[in-house]
């Protein structure tokens, strides 16, 4: 019989397999998750506590029902009985999502978000609601309403945002995976900062129906998990066309888990000669170079290439993000400005000062920019590799900027390597690539052409298999 400490560090795919083989009951797995939540809750502040007792009662009841079904037949649902929790911005009938804010508590959901429904259908059990930056508006995890979320490896440091709780709770062994959203790096940053795999799919690959919007032209939804295999499985389950989201692609969704184990020998990997080397610390540069040598050991052809200036895309994405966020929040910011925290307000209010012509120009040139970038870069390489963050994960105190005029520069420095790919709509996977001297994780970001998630999972999975990072866990 497995004990709780063993159960919580199993991968999502492994624990799902153990349940199907009846090596462990669903109740045992859920109880282990809930006990771990109680242990790390006061340390990490990764959970929204308002309705936590309701979640616990419902999770235990769902586990008992699942065990009854397990006695009668072998389940076919791929996530049968697996405890998950998600960024508290996805609607569920009968439950209110906070959006990390005071205001969303007054909004009654009219439907269940598609990603939540698909995970329910896959058999997962939802055990908690996860903290996030207010209205998904920041890359650090600061939240003045529910408290700042903390890094699973060192609680003095940021967990990354805006999917802060998704990163910290998964890394801490409290849940086996979590769904987040990514408008400028909000999946990849908390995944990187907490030593996880995180996938920002191609824009339109995963439905956003029922997800709280930040900037509809940039928003994407995807998983944060402890292994690439888990990430591939969860992406396969939530991706695909949804008639309730007209922006979703009708392209068939492959089983991304089938790309795992595929040879990556001969795959062409490009590393930028300039932009992604700017502002990089010596420690992160060393870890990134080491990761590139591992890719070469796998048989990849790694070469330095010139890349169209991503800084321009970062600036355009910023204009779109702020403009659309201002449109979403206009009425609330006029009627309830005091219900916003400093970071959330300053990140949104500035959108009212962006001229409509600038916003429309940013959208109108997008198609041509994406075509040119894809044609230029991916005619020469199959994957572009960058550091997920070009410097060591900072502390909460270092990023608790109180001067609204200085917040944009702080945000821009953290998101400089991730935000450009939201504007381009490209899939991007981050995987752990080691630790800096302060024992905080660093991430390797892999980017591919639209809808080439399978290539990223193949490469990320191959890299993960011959590196030790996924087997290391924080000691909370």
Give, rounded to a whole angstrom, the gap between the first and last alpha carbons of the chain.
24
Tokens for 237? 């389950």
Distance of alpha carbon 406 from alpha carbon 409, whole angstroms: 6
Q: What are phi and psi of 380, to 5 degrees?
A: -105, -30
| Residues in a beta bridge with 271 | 304, 385
CA atoms within 13 A on the CB side of 367: 2
Contact indicator for 414, 389 with CB cutoff of 8 Å: yes
- Triad 452, 195, 27: Cα angle to 5°: 95
Distance of alpha carbon 238 from alpha carbon 290, whole angstroms: 33
The residues assigned a catalytic role are: 87, 162, 186
Of 476, 237, 263, 213, nearest to 382 by C-alpha is 263
């Amino acid at each position: 019989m497995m004990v709780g400490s063993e159960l919580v560090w199993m991968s999502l795919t492994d624990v799902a397999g153990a349940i199907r083989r009846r090596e462990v009951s669903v109740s045992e797995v859920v109880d282990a998750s809930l006990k771990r939540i109680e242990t790390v809750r006061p340390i990490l502040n990764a959970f929204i506590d308002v309705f936590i007792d309701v979640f616990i009662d419902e999770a235990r009841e769902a586990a008992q029902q699942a065990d009854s079904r397990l006695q009668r037949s072998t389940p076919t649902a791929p996530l049968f009985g697996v405890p998950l929790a998600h960024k508290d911005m996805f609607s569920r009938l009968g439950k209110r999502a906070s959006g990390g804010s005071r205001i969303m508590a007054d909004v009654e959901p009219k439907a269940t978000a598609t990603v939540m429904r698909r995970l329910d259908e896959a058999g997962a059990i939802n055990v908690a609601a996860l903290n996030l930056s207010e209205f998904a508006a920041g890359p650090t995890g600061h939240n003045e309403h529910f408290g700042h979320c903390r890094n699973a490896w060192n609680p003095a440091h940021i967990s990354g945002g805006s999917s802060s709780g998704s990163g910290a709770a998964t890394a801490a062994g409290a849940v086996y995976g979590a769904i987040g959203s990514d408008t400028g790096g909000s999946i990849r940053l908390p995944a990187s900062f907490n030593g996880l795999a995180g996938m920002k799919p191609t824009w339109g690959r995963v439905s956003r129906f029922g997800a709280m919007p930040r900037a509809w032209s940039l928003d994407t939804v995807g998983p944060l998990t402890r292994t690439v295999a888990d990430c591939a499985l969860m992406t396969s389950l939530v991706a695909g066309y949804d008639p309730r989201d007209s922006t979703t692609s009708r392209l068939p969704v492959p089983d991304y888990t089938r790309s795992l184990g595929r040879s990556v020998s001969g795959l062409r990997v490009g590393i930028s000669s300039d932009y992604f080397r700017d502002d990089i610390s010596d420690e992160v540069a060393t870890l990134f170079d080491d990761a590139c040598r591992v890719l070469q050991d796998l048989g990849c052809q790694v070469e330095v290439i010139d890349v169209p200036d991503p800084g321009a895309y970062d600036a355009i994405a910023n204009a779109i993000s702020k403009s659309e966020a201002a449109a979403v929040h206009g009425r609330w910011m006029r009627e309830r400005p005091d219900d916003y925290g400093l970071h959330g307000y300053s990140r949104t209010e500035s959108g009212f000062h962006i001229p409509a012509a600038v916003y429309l120009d940013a959208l109108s040139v997008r198609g041509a920019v994406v075509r040119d970038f894809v044609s230029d870069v991916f005619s020469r390489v199959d994957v572009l590799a960058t550091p997920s963050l070009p410097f060591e994960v900072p502390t909460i105190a270092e990023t608790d900027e109180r001067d609204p005029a200085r917040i944009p520069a702080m945000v821009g420095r953290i998101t400089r390597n991730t935000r450009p790919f939201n504007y381009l709509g490209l899939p991007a996977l981050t995987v752990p690539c080691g630790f800096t001297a302060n024992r905080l994780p660093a991430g390797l970001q892999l980017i591919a052409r639209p809808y080439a998630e399978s290539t990223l999972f193949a490469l990320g999975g191959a890299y993960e298999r011959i590196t030790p990072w996924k087997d290391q866990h924080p000691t909370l």
